[in-house]
Structure 1
């Protein structure tokens, strides 16, 4: 396991570059995001350690980060002041643009992966999801819904994203039509995270404050395909494994990262307890099939290979 320590910066989100296996971005905040500034950390993992390459400060906490899908140097972060920041790691100044439109914390940002578009979606506590054109720095669409914790583009369907809300609902949105295509009463608690399966456009997973993960098939949402229990506190982030259809990972306020195979009768594959605070960020490496990165309020970013994936 490789680790990076960022004193005074508590990790909220982490994402590995879609272009470079060694490059990691981490959105972090001072004072646990309650007060102070935020910092975007750009890290490089070497054979034995993880090093800081660049860091960029913002005047409020940073809660999420997403890499551009068409420029290896560009990232977008979401801030506590309601703005999105576009950064260029190859630019000495770092900051390219600030997108203003939200009136409360931006808790989620995601860059579209389908070839037909180049869009960023943001989810905020101001009860809106907004879609942006990052090249033109323009707002494309604004959609109303309850307090939003997570917004994730479909990797299969153009102009379609899912959102996870404070009212326990998973929603699927059509940007072109400007409407909600489907609303699923997924949990009787706040949903903090959702993700799409990389192999099936109809499968999503949700993670909630009720400590459960639920897998949904959009063709029949009367009941979840699977429910997974094991976390003892709220699930902060869920991610599908990009190399195997039914495997996914979750991280939680219970300080653990867990790996699951929802197709099995006993779905829990492995539990890792290598943090001493809330684990908020989680990502898989698209270039190295069994590698995972996470970040925590304990000021560390960790890169590791869980034994359950190494055995695949």
Structure 2
């Protein structure tokens, strides 16, 4: 692995890292004081330069920030979520406070995601109040509240393939929700249904959709668009085909403590990465008999944030409770075969 470029942010413990979909050298990190237990939060905008990582801009909030997502229609706009139950809309081109604050959740919001499918500009959030909320960032209130989970929600992720479809993970279940909507000025009329609540194992912390779109005939057979991976407190990663969730299509074991975040590679069809409370980031190829490709041990506290670049097939970013943000190129991705 090449030497990691590191930015240390004293007093801020990282929870989420997301590469910009527009600017290859830019990264956003959501962080919190005092490990997210007390104190404020900070949105960090980091740029890669020839000399290393540079803090471009930072924005403070009065509670810990736990997740961040980039807008899909404006390179300067992001949404974060926080421990006070609110979501914040930020503009990196302005050194000011949030453009909008959305206050509806009644407990910590741990997940926020901006829809990637063409023609939609929607955000979904998941909270410890056991609800998922659907937002249009141009509207000052939520469009709809989804109920059905019976425990705190840790992860809500839009499908990159299926319009109007997202998954949410909570407790021993993950749910798949799909909605149809028509625009009614000034908002939406939303109809929705639970496709199912799937009891698929131990307590789920994170999940992610397969990202591959066009490189393989398998996509056209609807294999990859129905594939997602979950990470759990029992240290397991499991892959699921949503057309049949009676048993996982793969299982990956190796982490020693709960898995905090998992991401499929945008470039390599069977490669994914995970980070954990065991301080490590691990890279896997779920199609191989010996799936563990590489273990990266460059953090000294819980590794919580993780992302794989949409612009580079080898570049990875992560952040941890050790007050560091790192961008690096693991050897296994440099050596991975082309898609």
TM-score w.r.t. length of structure 2: 0.90
Q: Aligned residue for 2:217?
A: none
Query: What secondary structure sits across from 2:333 in the alignment?
Result: helix
By how many angstroms is 1:74 displaced?
0.3
> Which of 53, 57, 62 in structure 2 is aligned with 1:59?
62
- Aligned-pair Cα RMSD in Å: 0.9
Find the partner of 2:79 among 76, 81, 97: 76
**1:195 pairs with 193, 196, 208, which one?**
208
Q: State the distance in 2 between where 1:179 and 1:142 align.
A: 12
Q: Structure 1: which 5+ runs fail to align?
A: none
SS in 2 for 1:250: strand
Write out per-residue CA displacement over residues 97-129 of structure 1, whole angstroms, 9 at most, x where no aligned residue.
001110000000000000121000000000000
Q: Map residues 163-178 of structure 1 onto 2, 5 A cutoff.
A: 163-166=168-171, 168-176=172-180, 177-178=191-192
The alpha carbon displacement at 1:184 in A equals 1.9
Structure 1 residue 108 and structure 2 residue 104: aligned? no
- 1:223 — aligned with what? 247
Give deviations 1:39-96, integer Å, cap 9, x for gaps: 0000101123101010000000000000001000000000100000000011231410
Equivalent position to 2:199, from 168, 182, 185: 185
Q: Distance in 1 between matches of 2:67 and 2:277?
A: 17
2:297 match: 273
May I ask how many residue pairs the two structures share in their alignment? 310
Counterpart-to-counterpart distance in 1, 2:237 and 2:170:
14
Partners of 1:109 and 1:120 within 8 A in 2: yes
Shift of the alpha carbon at 1:185?
A: 1.6
Deviation string, structure 1 residues 159-217 (Cα, Å, up to 9, x no partner): 11011112x11211113342211222221x21000000012210000000000000001
Name the larger-Rg structure: 2
Q: Is the 8 A contact 1:141 1:178 kept in 2?
A: no
| 2:57–2:95 CA contact under 8 A, matched in 1 | no
Q: Structure 2 regions of 5+ residues with no counterpart?
A: 181-190, 213-223
1:219 Cα offset (Å):
1.5
Contact 1:104–1:124 (8 Å) recurs in 2: yes
Aligned to 1:309, the other structure's residue is in SS state: helix
- 3-state secondary structure, aligned to 1:201: helix
Aligned position for 1:150: 155
3-state SS of paired residue (1:295): strand
2:47 aligned partner: 44
Structure 1 residue matching 2:332: 3-state secondary structure: helix
CA contact (8 A) 1:141 1:175 kept: no
* Secondary structure of 1:93's aligned partner: coil
| TM-score with structure 1 setting the length | 0.98
Query: 8 Å contact 1:38–1:57 — kept in the other structure?
Result: yes
Where does residue 310 of structure 1 map in the other structure? 334
Does the residue aligned with 1:263 lie in a helix, a strand or coil?
coil
Match for 2:320 among 276, 293, 296?
A: 296
